[in-house]
Amino acid sequence: MGGVRVLVGTRKGAFVLTSDEERTKWDVAGPHFPGWEVYHVAGSSVDPDRLYASQSTGWFGQLIQRSDDGGATWEPVGKDFTYAGVPGTHQWYDGTPHPWEFARVWHLEPSLTDKDTVYAGVEDAALFRSTDGAQTWTEVRGLREHGSGSKWQPGAGGMCLHTIVQDPTNDQRLFVAISAAGVFRTEDGGATWEPINKGLLSDGIPSPAAEVGHCVHNLAMHPSRPDTLFMQKHWDVMRSDDGGDNWTEVSGNLPTDFGFPISVHAHEPETIYVVPILSDSHHFPPDGKLRVYRSRSGGTEWEALTNGLPQENCYVNVLRDAMAIDTLDNCGVYFGTTGGQVYASPDSGDSWAPIVHDLPAVLSVEVQTLA
C-alpha cells in the first residue's frame, strides 16, 4: 500500500490515520488504549509494520505496546526499565541524595537499521535500549555516569529525556536532549557522552552560558547533513553546523522564539518549521492566530504559513513531539494540537486542512511514508 500513515498519541489513547499519496481523504482507526496517556507512537523505517507505543497512567504505571501489523493489533511487551549505574542514589534537584524514579517513557526512537532495536528516553532522565523488539531493556548507563547529573534540573514537565536523534551515516553517534540539562552527544554507541551546549544562553540559571542546565525543547536533523542540527530551545531557535560543538541563534523575524517542535523538510535541508507560542507562561499562539513558520534559509528569515489554519480565537499549543514530515515527492507536514486537531499540509506548508478534530489533547505525531 502506498501513501502515508500518521501515528498520533493523545491524553486518552492512540490513533492511526492513513491516506493515499494525495492526502486528501483519511481513514481514522482508534482509539487504541483508550483512557491511557500515550506519550509517543513511533514506527520502524526498516519494517513499517513494526510500531511501538508508550502507554502510561498514574494508576497502572508504564507499558510499552508493540504492533507488527501497522497498528491493527497490539501486544504489551517488556517493561524492565531498571536504572543501572551507581545504585540507589542520585544528586537530586536540591543536591540531596534521592533514589532515581521511573515515571514514564517520553520518546521512542526505532533504529534506522534494525527493526528490533529501539531507544527509549524516560523520566527521570535516562536513555534505554532494547535489541529484542522492546521485550527487554538495558540502560545506556554512560549518560547518567557523565558526572553532571547534580546540575540537571526538571523542566515544567519533569526531568525528562525527550529527544533522541540518530546519525544515519554512523550508528555509533547519537544526540539526546534533556529538560533541563541540554544536549549530549555520543560517538561510541553510548559508552561515553559529552555535553554540547556551547553558544546556548539561558536566563534563570546561575551561569547563563553554563556547560549544562539548559532547557532544550527539541532537535531536528536532515539525514543528508548529519552535522547540521536545528534546535527549539526554551526561548531561541538555534543552529549548529559542526555536530553540536557550537550553536548560533537563528530566531530572526519570528514573532516569538518560544515554542516546542522543530522539523526539517524531507528534501530541502535548509527548510525548517517551527510553531511559535506566546511565552513560557502563556502556551498559545500570539494574537490567537495558529501559524506555522517556515524558513527556507536555515533560519533567520521566516514566513508565516496560515492558509487553512484558524486565525482568530485559537488558544491551543503544539507540543514537542507533535510535528512530523513525510518523504513523498511533494513533502507533507503534519502537526497536532492540545485542542485535539491534527492538521496536514500536502504541499510543504503552503496550505493546511484538518485530518481529524475533537481528539483528546495531542501529545505526539509521527508519519510513515509507505511504499
Do the Cβ atoms of 121 and 162 come closer than 8 Å? yes
Question: Coil, helix or strand for 149?
Answer: helix
Q: Per DSSP, what are the bridge partners of residue 218?
A: 232
- Kindly list the structural domains of the chain, giving each domain's residue range(s) and its CATH number in brackets, ordered by start: 3-370 (2.130.10.10)
Q: Is the pLDDT of residue 4 over 90?
A: yes
For residue 89, pLDDT over 80 is answered with no
- Give the strands of the sheet with 37-43, arranged side by side: 37-43, 51-57, 61-67, 75-77
Decide if pLDDT at 96 tops 80. Answer: no
Residue 59 makes CB contacts below 8 A (sequence gap 6+) with: none
Nearest Cα residue to 257 out of 204, 307, 217: 217
Round to whole Å and give the CA distance between 4 and 252. Answer: 33
145: pLDDT confidence band, cut at 50, 70 and 90? Answer: confident
pLDDT at 86: 44
Extract the C-alpha cell encoding 32. 487504541
Q: What is the largest CA-CA distance in the chain?
A: 56
Residues 6+ apart with CB under 8 A from 101: 124
Instruction: Work out the average pLDDT over 30-41.
Output: 96
Fill in the DSSP letter of residue 88. S
- Among 8-17, 119-128, 141-150, 174-183, the range scoring the smallest mean pLDDT is 141-150
What pLDDT is stored for residue 205 in this prediction? 85
| Long-range Cβ contact pairs of 169-172 (< 8 A, separation 24 or more) | 169/226, 170/226, 171/111, 171/112, 171/113
